[in-house]
Amino acid sequence: MIELKAWEIERDLRDSALPDNNYSGDWGNVRVLRDAYDVILKALWSSRVPGSGAPEHLIVGAVQAVENMGRDVSAAESLLDVGMDALNDNNMNLLREVTSRIFYYLELAPVLMKHPYHDFVHPLGWKEISASFPKKQYNYDEDMLEDKVYGGWIGQISGASMGTAIEGYMHENLIKVFGGKLGKFVREPDTYNDDITYEIAFLLALSEDGSDISSESIAMKWISYIPFGWSAEYVAMENIKRGVFPPLSGSFFNPFREWIGAQMRCMVEGLVVPANPYEAARLAHLDSVISHSANGVYGGVHSAVLTSLAFAINDPRELIVESLNYIHQKTEFRDVVEDVVRWCKESDSWLDVYKKVRERFLRYNWIHLYPNTASVITSLWFGEGDFDKSMEIVASFGYDVDCNAGEIGTILGVMLGLGGIDGSWYEHFNGVLNTYMDGMESLSIYEFLVKKTLRCIKMLES
């Protein structure tokens, strides 16, 4: 079969087209498309988190995030009140203009050279990031592999389901409303969670490509199966659809590139290479650069490392200390993690650490990587390997609770195995994961997630 050139396809189309005297025109679709864009536009300015109803102004978070990266955001910031007024007045013409200008000003925001962000390095390439990483493979009990993988997925889904109902709120208000109920399901849970969709996409890509997996092949699964993303993933998916591929997709006009998105989803890379943190880190890097850059990528790598190490290390504190070997020493992320670990060592309770975290990251968004990494470390440190106790701490800590509880649940699920998680956490799921992914609206946790992960482990080891 001879493939036609583009000009031939267009010529044939034009030559075969006959005028239709009965066609009356159809301009209605133009308005439909505009209205669909305006729904997203309004959501950028004011929305509620789907699982918890927490209020959110993502466009404000974008300005906040770029300032955290040591940029002068005054030009963009000066338009926030104008945009809010336009939103309240439903002046969509003005809101479209203001939003575009804000993203433009953020991309071109001048560097503030004296900002502490610039005291650190921000490598993006794998070779530079991993130069000091040990390539050690740890011993683990292969007879317990299936149980640990199963426990990891169940722990993640359970933790994320618990956290979904309370994400986006701070410790003080969570205590005020829920008190002693925190660390349990505060309402009837379900398994819908956007974070896990990206892990499923990774498994699909890995199942097809094996050791040849690439950032591009993972990204293709995103746009094939995931209908919509938020913050960093939203921008990345829009970039990819327009042919801006990784790693540029993670940084190009993406103010959210150092938020939690990579950390929340890279546990899967740790699950597919048990007790091999270097390889888990490498795979997580491929995944993370799709939607993130610099510190955002390091967070994804760290999540994978913790998960992989959990197959070999049963003490959460030892696990955290060992994970430091897989963070570039001159990055701000390393500085943050070291501070949090030191606070944990010096404090008598997780609440003391929380107070330090709250003060240190007061200027950071609740979805930013740093306070949420602090939540994960603190909850693991003071949870002492107890699933219920750890969930109570992470729930009470606040911030992006579903992401943090999902990560902790995966790590502890691997450590403890399925038997280490009380059945009350997962029996009501009836073994089913619900998603909004095309063609995968209802999945068997065991048949799909666990078995596919085990097959990927064997494939990568062969």
Secondary structure element (H or E) that encloses residue 47, with its range? strand 47-48
Quote the domain boundaries for residue 85: 30-119
**360 plus 455 within the same structural domain:** yes
Examine residue 60 and state whether it is found in any structural domain, yes or no. Answer: yes
Q: Which of 399, 407, 398 is nearest to 376 (CA)?
A: 407
For the ranges 12-26, 156-170, 363-377, the lowest mean pLDDT is seen at 12-26
Domain containing 327 — which CATH number? 1.10.4080.10
State the pTM of this model: 0.96
Examine residue 75 and state whether it is found in any structural domain, yes or no. Answer: yes
**97 plus 233 within the same structural domain:** no
**115 plus 131 within the same structural domain:** no
Examine residue 374 and state whether it is found in any structural domain, yes or no. Answer: yes
What's the rounded Cα separation, in Å, for the pair 266 and 279? 12
**162 plus 104 within the same structural domain:** no
pLDDT 10s digits, 169-226: 999 999 999 999 999 999 998 899 889 999 999 999 999 999 999 999 999 999 999 9
Q: Which of 156, 77, 44 is nearest to 409 (CA)?
A: 156
What's the rounded Cα separation, in Å, for the pair 85 and 446? 50
Confidence of residue 23 (pLDDT cuts 50, 70, 90): confident
pLDDT 10s digits, 386-404: 999 999 999 999 999 999 9
**146 plus 269 within the same structural domain:** yes
Q: Which of 142, 127, 379, 381 is nearest to 275 (CA)?
A: 142
Domain boundary residue, one of 65, 97, 119 = 119
Look-up of token digits 């992470």: 394
**104 plus 206 within the same structural domain:** no
DSSP string spanning 311-344? TT---HHHHHHHHGGGS-TTSHHHHHHHHHHHHH
| Cα 427 → chain centroid | 26
**98 plus 181 within the same structural domain:** no
**115 plus 253 within the same structural domain:** no
Domain boundary residue, one of 69, 98, 119 = 119
| Cα 29 → chain centroid | 34
DSSP string spanning 370-409? HHHHHHHHHHHHHHTT-HHHHHHHHHHHEESHHHHHHHHH
Examine residue 447 and state whether it is found in any structural domain, yes or no. Answer: yes
The structure tokens listed for 332 are 């701000």
**295 plus 416 within the same structural domain:** yes
What's the rounded Cα separation, in Å, for the pair 337 and 343? 10
Tell me the CA distances in angstroms from 75 to 46, 82, 118, 255, one per residue in order: 21, 12, 21, 15
Domain boundary residue, one of 52, 86, 119 = 119
Structurally, the chain folds into a number of domains equal to 2
**220 plus 354 within the same structural domain:** yes
**336 plus 231 within the same structural domain:** yes
Examine residue 4 and state whether it is found in any structural domain, yes or no. Answer: no
